[in-house]
């Protein structure tokens, strides 16, 4: 003969307390609201900062990897010809290009300069993909395409062109033992300043006409945040036969710095949020214990009119969970607003994490329910007689 | 005395409370029958055990030994849940301090008495309004306790106690917080409940004299159990 209250009745009963003491209910949900607001805000601000920092670091090249041939016990192992094409097929890779350094080739304005005089300009044979991978743009003329890559043409770095006195496309320079036509002149390269002093010739031409040009470096550009993953996959992709002879280096230490920054932001966020939620939970426990004391008469009465101890307990647990829910929703709203404000104030794109918001609300409800458990069981154990008489 | 089977029987009930290092016996072997339309005043000085007796009769407290039989069914071995269910259907309570919810209106307060008894929301509302009408508050159904006088609040409590047609209405010092005149009119209301048994605890001799049966309790024992002529 167990009579259960309907969901509507249970909720109506549980909201009686908060509705009759609105100010106190607001104060008790404040703790949880602050905790969840902190969680959402810290994750939001951390995410906003992270995204901003990452964008800055990427502008400096932290998502660019350099792949170079390494050694095996039998001696140096060259990178296979197919390596750059295979690396391009790795999903998070946005671009990869092979470079063959040609240290013995010297660049001169005319064929009359003695070989022994250097100009400081180095020559590399490059795949056409280099421009996209390293963000090289052409100030004058054109970059290589598949056709011109197999012709004796050269693209000069910004500084190299100045030194050679080449001002316009169509002029010729002397590289090694023949003339090359200037196809294009690069703008100063922000991401890879070493190319400012280079003369770049086509990969296909070099392979066909120069002696033994080995791939010396493959530059790889990865999608934001995937550098570490790609780095692990590159050796086997580049040289399946001898993967340990493939060296992969981060463009600089910036990648490690970024990982460290990510990690410390996350730890900070979780630490602060946990503390804040704990404080919020204590607030709810406190409020509910007082509420149970104050409402002894009501509790005794409910028992007198037929409420079971379990129903009394449920009433107070649900009440506490509802306080948590309201606190959680309020906290999420505040957290989102603060994150948006932070982004606006710092001219960054605000990154609000919807998963954190949803988790915040769920967490708040759980915190409320757990916090309410102890006061609720005290309420359930009250002797109806004493509760009625003592009130 | 009693007509037909008793609504409620107290059978050899004793009650001990822990006190100091040992126990204090508050009730000594109480036997009492309450008929289906009996109206009983239980009177005695403070400390006589009458309030404890009411709690035990109403299954709000368990006796140390003995039994309370309601409608022929023993409550001695009932679980908390079963006793709660019994109270929800068979008993109504009126208290000295009214124990109304301050922040809801009279109708809702009366509905509270029906909440745990399995009525639908619609049934609760209908019964509550009917009960309020019966106690003379048909025009006050939307008032909150703060907007009602003491006597009116107690009437709401009576309405709450009878809305589900209980077997027994227990009243613990129902006039204790009311003045003489108001108390008298509440007692008149209670006496007018014809289809239930009524058990009233009181220390007020005048109130006791207004009911047809008097049970006098002293030091945890029934000293006297008599029918009397009512001087209302």
Handedness of CA A205, A207, A213, A219 (dihedral sign): positive
Whether residues B95 and A388 touch (CB distance < 8 A) is answered with: yes
Q: What is the per-residue pLDDT for A257?
A: 62
Residue B9: is its pLDDT beyond 50?
yes
The answer to which of A108-112, A281-285, B17-21, B116-120 has the lowest mean pLDDT is A108-112
Query: Number of C-alpha atoms within 13 angstroms, CB side, residue A50?
Result: 21
Residue spans of the domains in chain A: they are 7-57+259-390, 63-254
Domains of chain B, earliest start first: 8-227 (3.40.50.300)
User: Strands B213-218 and B8-19, how do they pair?
Assistant: unpaired
Q: Considering just the CA atoms, what is the radius of gyration of chain A in Å?
A: 34
Residue A50: is its pLDDT beyond 80?
no
The residue with tokens 């470096």 is A217
Cα separation, B18 vs B1, whole angstroms:
36
**pLDDT for A352-377, tens place per residue?**
889 989 988 998 999 999 999 999 99
Q: What is the per-residue pLDDT for A253?
A: 54
CA angle B80, B82, B86 (to 5 degrees): 115
Q: Which residue of B has its CA nearest to A295?
A: B101
B69–chain A Cβ distance below 8 A for any pair: no
Whether residues A305 and B93 touch (CB distance < 8 A) is answered with: yes
- Give the list of residues 6+ apart from residue A251 with CB closer than 8 angstroms, or none: A61, A62, A63, A64, A65, A66
In this prediction, residue A51 has a pLDDT band, given cuts at 50, 70 and 90, of confident
Cα separation, A385 vs B56, whole angstroms:
9
**φ/ψ of residue A346, rounded to 5:** -110, 10
Handedness of CA A144, A150, A151, A156 (dihedral sign): positive
Quick one: average pLDDT of A280-298? 89
Residue B3: is its pLDDT beyond 60?
no
In this prediction, residue A114 has a pLDDT band, given cuts at 50, 70 and 90, of low
In this prediction, residue A349 has a pLDDT band, given cuts at 50, 70 and 90, of confident
- What are the chain B neighbours of A19 within 8 Å (beta carbons)? 103
- What are the chain A neighbours of B94 within 8 Å (beta carbons)? none
Chain B: give the shortest CA distance to residue A6, in Å.
9
Q: What ipTM is given for this predicted complex?
A: 0.93
- What are the chain A neighbours of B51 within 8 Å (beta carbons)? 385, 389
**pLDDT for B168-213, tens place per residue?**
999 999 999 999 999 999 999 999 998 899 999 998 899 999 999 9
Residue B2: is its pLDDT beyond 50?
no
- Tell me the C-alpha to C-alpha distance, in Å, between residue B17 and each of A323, B60, B63, B64, B207: 39, 15, 10, 9, 29
DSSP string, B55-77: HHHTTSS--SEEEEEETTEE-TT
Q: What is the per-residue pLDDT for B35?
A: 92
The token duo for A243 is 């993967």
Residue of A298, A305, A391 lying closest to B116 (CB–CB): A305
The residue with tokens 């290092």 is B21
If we measure between CA atoms, which residue out of A233, A234, A232, A224 comes closest to residue A255?
A: A224
Residue A233, Cα to own-chain centre: how many angstroms? Answer: 19
**pLDDT for A173-189, tens place per residue?**
988 888 999 999 999 88
Whether residues B117 and A389 touch (CB distance < 8 A) is answered with: no
User: Strands B8-19 and B65-70, how do they pair?
Assistant: antiparallel
Whether residues A388 and B88 touch (CB distance < 8 A) is answered with: no
Buried b (16+ CB within 10 A) or exposed e, B67-89: ebbbeeeebeebeebbbbbbbbb
The token duo for A207 is 């392979």
Beta-carbon contacts below 8 Å between A and B: 90
Residue B33: is its pLDDT beyond 90?
yes
Give the containing element (helix H, strand E) for B231: none
The token duo for B185 is 């009119």
Q: What is the per-residue pLDDT for A242?
A: 86
- Tell me the C-alpha to C-alpha distance, in Å, between residue B28 and each of B24, B44, B64: 11, 15, 10
Chain A: give the shortest CA distance to residue B231, in Å.
30
Residue A312: is its pLDDT beyond 50?
yes
Residue A113: is its pLDDT beyond 80?
no
Cα separation, B159 vs B128, whole angstroms:
7
DSSP string, A269-304: HHHHHHHHHHHHHHHHHHHHHHHHHHTHHHHHHHHH
Residue A338: is its pLDDT beyond 90?
yes
**pLDDT for A142-177, tens place per residue?**
999 888 888 899 999 998 988 888 888 888 998 888
B55–chain A Cβ distance below 8 A for any pair: yes
Q: In this structure, are residues B195 and B176 in contact, taking their beta carbons and an 8 Å threshold?
A: no
With a pLDDT cut of 70, the percent of chain A lying above it is 91
Q: What is the per-residue pLDDT for A20?
A: 85
- What are the chain A neighbours of B87 within 8 Å (beta carbons)? 303-306
In this prediction, residue A52 has a pLDDT band, given cuts at 50, 70 and 90, of confident
Higher local confidence (pLDDT), A225 or A102: A102
Query: Number of C-alpha atoms within 13 angstroms, CB side, residue A267?
Result: 6
Q: If you average pLDDT over every residue of chain A, what do you get?
A: 86
3-state secondary structure of A241: coil
């Amino acid at each position: 003969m167990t009579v259960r209250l309907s969901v509507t009745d249970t909720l109506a009963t549980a909201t009686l307390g908060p509705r009759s003491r609105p100010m106190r209910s607001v104060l008790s949900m404040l703790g949880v609201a602050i905790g969840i607001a902190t969680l959402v805000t810290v994750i939001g601000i951390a995410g906003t900062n992270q995204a901003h920092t990452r964008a800055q670091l990427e502008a400096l090249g932290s998502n660019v990897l350099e792949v170079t041939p390494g050694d095996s016990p039998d001696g140096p192992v060259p990178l296979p010809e197919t390596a750059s094409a295979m690396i391009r097929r790795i999903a998070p890779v946005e671009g990869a290009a092979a470079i063959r350094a040609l240290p013995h080739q010297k660049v001169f304005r005319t064929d009359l300069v003695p070989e022994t005089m250097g100009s400081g300009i180095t020559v590399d044979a490059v795949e056409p993909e280099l421009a996209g991978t390293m963000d090289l743009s052409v100030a004058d003329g054109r970059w290589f395409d598949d056709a011109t890559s197999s012709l004796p043409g050269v693209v000069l770095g910004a500084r190299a062109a100045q030194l050679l006195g080449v001002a316009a496309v169509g002029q010729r320079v002397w590289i090694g033992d023949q003339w090359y036509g200037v196809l294009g002149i690069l703008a100063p390269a922000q991401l890879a300043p070493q190319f400012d002093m280079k003369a770049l010739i086509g990969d296909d031409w070099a392979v066909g006409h120069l002696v033994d040009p080995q791939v010396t470096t493959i530059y790889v550009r990865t999608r934001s945040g995937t550098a570490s993953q790609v780095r692990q996959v590159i050796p086997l992709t580049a040289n399946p036969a001898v993967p340990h002879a493939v060296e992969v280096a981060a463009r600089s230490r910036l990648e490690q710095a970024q990982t460290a920054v990510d990690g410390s932001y996350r730890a900070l966020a979780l630490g602060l949020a946990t503390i804040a939620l704990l404080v919020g939970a204590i607030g709810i426990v406190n409020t509910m214990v007082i509420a149970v004391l104050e409402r002894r008469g009501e509790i005794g009465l409910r028992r007198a009119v037929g409420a079971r101890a379990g129903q009394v307990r449920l009433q107070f647990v649900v009440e506490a969970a509802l306080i948590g829910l309201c606190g959680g929703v309020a906290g999420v709203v505040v957290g989102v607003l603060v994150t948006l404000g932070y982004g606006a104030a710092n001219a960054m794109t605000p990154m609000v994490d919807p998963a954190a918001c949803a988790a915040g609300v769920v967490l708040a409800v759980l915190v409320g329910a757990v916090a309410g458990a102890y006061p609720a069981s005290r309420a359930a154990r009250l002797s109806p007689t004493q509760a009625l008489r003592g009130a | 005395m009693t007509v037909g089977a008793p609504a409620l029987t107290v059978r050899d009930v004793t009650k001990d409370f822990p006190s100091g290092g040992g126990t204090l016996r508050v009730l000594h072997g109480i036997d009492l029958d309450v008929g289906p339309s009996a109206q009983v005043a239980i009177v005695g000085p403070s400390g006589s055990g009458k309030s404890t007796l009411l709690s035990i009769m109403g299954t709000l407290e368990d006796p140390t030994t003995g039994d309370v039989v309601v409608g022929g069914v023993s409550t001695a071995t009932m679980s908390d849940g079963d006793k709660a269910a019994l109270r929800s259907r068979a008993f109504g309570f009126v208290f000295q301090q009214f124990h109304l919810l301050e922040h809801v209106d009279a109708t809702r307060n009366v509905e509270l008495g029906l909440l745990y008894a399995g009525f639908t929301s619609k049934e609760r509302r209908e019964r509550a309004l009917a009960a309020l009408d019966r106690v003379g508050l048909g025009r006050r159904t939307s008032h909150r306790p703060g907007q009602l006088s003491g006597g009116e609040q107690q009437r709401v409590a009576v309405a709450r106690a009878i809305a589900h047609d209980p077997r027994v209405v227990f009243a613990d010092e129902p006039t204790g917080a009311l003045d003489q005149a108001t108390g008298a009119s509440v007692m008149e209301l209670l006496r007018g409940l014809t289809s239930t048994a009524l058990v009233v605890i009181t220390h007020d001799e005048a109130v006791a004299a207004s009911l047809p049966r008097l049970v006098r309790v002293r030091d945890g024992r029934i000293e006297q159990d008599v029918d009397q002529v009512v001087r209302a």
